[in-house]
Amino acid sequence: MDSKRSLLIIDDEPSITKILEHFLKKDFSVIVKSDGSEGMLWLEEGNKADLIIADLHMPNLSGKEFLKVAKASNLYADIPVIILSGSDESSERIQCLNLGADDFMVKPFNPMEVHAKINAILRRSKRYS
């Protein structure tokens, strides 16, 4: 089975999505959406993501709102989510983790670290064990 795992990246900053896409497209099939409601719509159309990277602060549906909706759904609750944020506010991080995020990374980040975290989360992910 050599099909690439799919990553849904939801961020309204093109510079961030370009960096992530550039570093991750070799190993993953990368889908980019610019806000949480676009990302949700894409999932609701029946598309599958193995992991979601979502920005905390986005228009329409924030990363936190997106997490709530995704984790409340039977269909998406088991998809791992990494939240990206421009602020290293520990209360934000705690809230996101409590809402079901698998990890929380502060921008600017090292793309290699993002890649390593994705691999670590996918290794632990229930769906592949």
Summarize pLDDT for 70-120 with one digit per residue, the tens: 999 999 999 999 999 998 888 999 999 999 999 999 999 999 999 999 999
Please list the residues that pair with 31 across neighbouring strands.
Answer: 8
Domains of the chain (ranges; CATH) run 5-128 (3.40.50.2300)
Per-residue pLDDT tens over the stretch 42-56: 999 999 999 999 999
Say which amino acid occupies 103.
D
**What CA–CA distance (Å, rounded) separates 86 from 73?**
27
**What CA–CA distance (Å, rounded) separates 120 from 49?**
16
